[in-house]
Amino acid sequence: MEWLAGLSIEWILLFAFILVFARLGLYLSRRFLGTKADAYGGELIESLLCAWVVIFLFVKPFLYEQFSIPSGSMIPTLNIGDRIAVNKYVYRFNPPERGDIIVFKSPPTARQDEADFVKRLVGMPGDTVDIRQGQVYVNSRPLKESYVYEPNATEPEPNYPGSIHFPYRVPKDRYLMLGDNRRDSFDSRVWGLVEPERIKGKAVLKLWPFSNFGILH
């Protein structure tokens, strides 16, 4: 099950080509060799091929995509190796909301190998965010965060040029992202804010491990 959830587009295309040639072989066998190929087998191959086409030419580019968690920055919500489904169209109709778990392209200042990051949206445009002794304050009010791992952990000191210092007012068209594992998360405290154009989608469902399958909050 895990290997199926993690199949890349290259493997899917390879399987699609195999299905196409298998279907073609059944057709040629029936046409030129006069054999009675199993019609059910041909229909099954056609159905599988259509399913791959729909998933990877329509669903994956425009609707949903799976994402593998590369680090422990979102513990306990997400663990290393977990696979999630990302809704890629929801923000075309509604703006992101505080508390959303968001997958986005890594900021240039992050200096990380991962092409994409996953963090939780904490600071909205115009918010004033402060962090004192592990507690997040938004517009001077403490933010209730039941999802945070070790809520009283001290936030890491920013060590990259361009990192922000609290209290901080989030500018227009920017988002402040934090990991749920505040003690071990390189996030907006270190590499700054996220522009809307970098956002890829909202994490909505945990796919793997199957024992933890469910909606993400």
Query: Tens digit of pLDDT for each residue in 126-170?
Result: 999 999 888 999 999 999 999 997 765 555 554 555 568 889 999
- CA 21 to chain centroid, in Å, comes to 34
> What distances in angstroms separate CA 209 from CA 88, 147, 156, one per listed residue?
22, 19, 30
* Residue among 88, 119, 200, 206 flagged as catalytic: 119
Please report the pLDDT score of residue 67 as a whole number: 87
Q: What is the pLDDT of residues 162-212, one digit of tens each?
A: 568 889 999 999 999 999 998 888 899 888 999 999 999 999 989 888 888
Pairing of strands 176-178, 168-169: unpaired
Residue 173: burial class (beta carbons within 10 Å; 0-12, 13-18, 19+): exposed
pLDDT on residue 28: 62
Residue with tokens 């469910």: 214
Is residue 211 annotated as a catalytic residue, yes or no? no
Of these residues, 71, 73, 185, 188, which one is catalytic?
73
Question: Where are the domains positioned within the chain?
Answer: 2-64, 69-215
Pick the more confident residue, 35 or 175: 175
| 20 or 187, which is more confident | 187
Average pLDDT over residues 23-52: 58
**78-134 per-position pLDDT tens digit:** 999 999 989 888 898 889 999 999 999 988 877 666 689 999 999 999 999 999 888
Which CATH fold would you assign to the domain 69-215?
A: Umud Fragment, subunit A (2.10.109)
**172 carries an active-site annotation:** no
pLDDT of residue 59: 47
Q: What is the pTM of this model?
A: 0.71
